[in-house]
Amino acid sequence: MSTSSRRRLDADPPLLFPDYRATRTRAPKLPLVPFEHTLSELTGPVYGHERIGQGDHDLTQQFEGEPLGERIVLHGRVVDDDGRPVPDTLVELWQANSAGRYRHVVDRHPAPLDPNFAGAGRAVTDSDGRYRFITIKPGAYPWRNHDNAWRAAHIHLSLFGLAFTQRLVTQMYFPGDPLFFQDPIFNSVPDRDARELMIARFDLEQTVPEWALAYEFDIVLRGRDATPFEE
């Protein structure tokens, strides 16, 4: 994996997108200064496989009881621009619970926390670049960016490559969400086709009868169909 110029950077959202209010103060005002990476940054181990627990990909089994909400399977492949699988990639996920609440101190949304849902999981892609999570469909949540602002339901995803410096972060959305039009984070990705690449596909084939719906979300690291990533 590489975050270098081989990625189609025009698909990614700009650092300053005034409708997304926090970027007005957060975006750097001066040109970025590139730093050479040190050898240990590039060659040091990212993580040990032994630290990925067997149940880390299943967010419905991390506590004694099951979390409330709509159980879903989220799966897909991490691929290169030619569709080549990217194996052994750490995929981390974090999200709000079904009521739209994060288990995080700064989340003040007056929606209930779920004692059986932490909202974080991780998986490693297999030799075919595949990952699979079992989780709960997150709820929309308000976020005070503008009057009556709501985030479209989304799941945050992070990918690590072969070194800590190779990290990509994106958000996955659900098809047909009525909140897309007023969500400036979704719309900060300038290109309409690129925005579509952040929307998972409902996958009837991978649904589990009597148990869970499924969504497929392929993550493309570069090229024409590259998934938009946060810089």
Q: Which of 75, 101, 154, 222 is catalytic?
A: 154
- Whether 154 is catalytic is yes
Dist. CA 10–CA 192, nearest whole Å = 12
- Whether 131 is catalytic is no
Dist. CA 72–CA 136, nearest whole Å = 6
Establish how many alpha carbons lie within 13 A of residue 213's alpha carbon, considering only the half-sphere containing its beta carbon: 10
- Whether 102 is catalytic is yes
Q: Is 204 helix (H, G, I), strand (E, B) or coil?
A: helix
Q: Which of 101, 122, 156, 222 is catalytic?
A: 156
209: left (phi over 0), alpha (psi -120 to 50) or beta: beta
Q: Which of 57, 151, 195, 222 is catalytic?
A: 151
Q: Which residues pair with 85 in a beta bridge?
A: 79
Q: Which of 7, 71, 101, 141 is catalytic?
A: 141
Whether 186 contacts 43, CB under 8 Å: no
Alpha helices in the chain (DSSP H): 22-26, 39-43, 184-187, 192-196
Q: Which of 20, 102, 131, 173 is catalytic?
A: 102
| Active-site annotation, residues | 102, 141, 151, 154, 156
